[in-house]
Amino acid sequence: AREQLEIKVKGMTCAACSARVERVLNRLPGVLHAAVNLATEKAVVKYNPAEVSPADIRRAIRDAGYTPVSET
Q: Is 13 in the site for ligand 9UX (CB under 6 A)?
A: yes
Sole window of 13-21, 27-35, 43-51, 54-62 interacting with ligand 9UX (rule: CB under 6 A): 13-21
Buried b (16+ CB within 10 A) or exposed e, 15-52: eebbebbbebbeebeebeebebebeebbbebebeeeeb
Q: Does 39 bind ligand 9UX (CB under 6 A)?
A: no
CA dist., res. 2 & res. 18, Å (int)? 23
Q: Which of 16, 35, 55, 69 binds ligand 9UX (CB under 6 A)?
A: 16
Q: Any contact of residue 23 with ligand 9UX (CB under 6 A)?
A: no
